[in-house]
Amino acid sequence: MLTIRIESFTKDKPALLKDAFRIRHKVFIEEQGVDKFLEYDGLDDEAVHYLVYYDDKPVCTARWRETSEGVKLERFATLKKFRGKSLASVLLRYILEELTLSKKKLYMYAQVSAVSFYEAHNFEKKGEKFVEADIEHYMMEYKY
C-alpha cells in the first residue's frame, strides 16, 4: 500500500533541506532552465520548508516565509514522475491548514501554467502578468 507523509522543517534539518534542494534543482534548474543563483536565493534559512514523501521517497516540496506584505508561499515543485497524483494539492491544503488560522495575507508568485491549480485552491490573481526568472507569473492571493 502506498503512503503519503508530509514533513515540515526549517534550516536546522540539513538532510531534509538537501532533499528539498534536490527536487527544486530537478524541476526549476534542469526542467525550466532557471538560473541556479535565482533558485538558491539565500532566503531558505528564514523559511519553513515541506517535503511530501510518496512511499517513503521525497517527491514534492514547498516553502513559505514571512515578508513585509504577509506570508509568501514559494518553491512548489513535484518531480515529473510523480505529477498527476494530487501530491501538490495535498501539500497546499496541509500548508493552508497551518497558515489560515493566522488570518495573515497569504500570497505567491504563480507561474502562468499553474494559475488554474491555485485558483482551484481559493487563490485569485492580483495585478498584471510579470516575468520572473524568464517565466511569466501572476501574483496570487488567498481568499479567506
pLDDT tens digits for 31-86?
Answer: 999 999 999 999 999 999 999 999 999 999 999 999 999 999 999 999 999 999 99
**What is the domain partition of the chain in residue ranges?**
4-105
The CATH fold of domain 4-105 = Aminopeptidase (3.40.630)
Nearest to 8 by CA among 36, 40, 46, 49: 49
Segment 102-129 mean pLDDT: 97
Alpha-carbon gap, residue 96 to 117, rounded angstroms: 14
pLDDT tens digits for 25-38?
Answer: 999 999 999 999 99
